[in-house]
Amino acid sequence: METHNIKSKYPINDFKSGESWRLFKIMGEFVEGIDSLYSLGPAVSIFGSARIKPDDPYYEQTETLAALFAKSGYAVITGGGPGIMEAANKGAMGEGVESVGLNINLPFEERINPYTTKQIEFDYFFVRKVMFIKYAQAYIIMPGGFGTLDELFETITLIQTKRIRPTPVILMGSHYWNGLIQWIKGQMMADKMISPEDLDLFHVLDDPQKALEIVEKFYR
């Protein structure tokens, strides 16, 4: 059987050196994000699929929702890419507020859309997610894939475990989310993996105006 000596191929000192220098790159991304966003003011983070096209009803709904929040004085933070992110940035830019794109370098899908007024590039997902959460007064979750679910559940977990302050979390599109909600109730809650009050950590809505009302009521 052929064996490989990883120690001889990758000297331990070189490995440690590489890992140590990576920490500086991570810190640099944190510093850039904080410097760029600390004075942003009230903002909402809008998550959703990069694959949704401009003729999709969810694209139009997202643009309308972002414009409503923008008219009420909220900046809009997205991942800066196409699809839902583009729609949200477009709605914000149209109302003259700060339209932020937190772009991640990926081999596919991600490209910075033309509707951002502030752009920050990230190599690390976890640094980017901190910026989404740290500088938003509400989190709007539009239909999306694994990345959207990751952002949704991490946000809810941080609120549930009191690692961040209570903040409105709104899932837009009941038709899209109802299957997941039924599974959460019928499986997770039935098996006592979560508490009944954990269902109060988020709202499922279809009306963008109602989403704005919930956020404004929360902060009143």
Q: What is the pLDDT of residues 31-46, one digit of tens each?
A: 999 999 999 999 999 9
pLDDT in tens, 209-219: 999 999 999 99
- H-state helical runs in the chain: 6-9, 12-37, 57-71, 84-94, 125-134, 146-160, 174-183, 208-219
Residue ranges and CATH numbers for the domains of the chain are 9-219 (3.40.50.450)
As a whole number of angstroms, the distance between CA 146 and CA 151 comes to: 9
Beta bridge partners of 72: none
Output phi, psi for 75, to 5 deg.
Answer: -70, 160
Burial grade of 143 (CB within 10 A; 0-12, 13-18, 19 or more): buried
pLDDT at 20: 80
Fill in the amino acid letter for 106. L
Contact 86, 113 (CB under 8 A): yes
The predicted pLDDT at position 105 comes to 76
Mean pLDDT, range 89-104, rounded to an integer: 96
Q: Beta-carbon neighbour count of residue 203 at 10 Å?
A: 14
Q: Which amino acid is at 14?
A: D
Query: pTM (2 decimals)?
Result: 0.89
Kindly give, in sequence order, each residue whose CB lies less than 8 Å from that of residue 129, ignoring residues fewer than 6 positions away: 151, 154
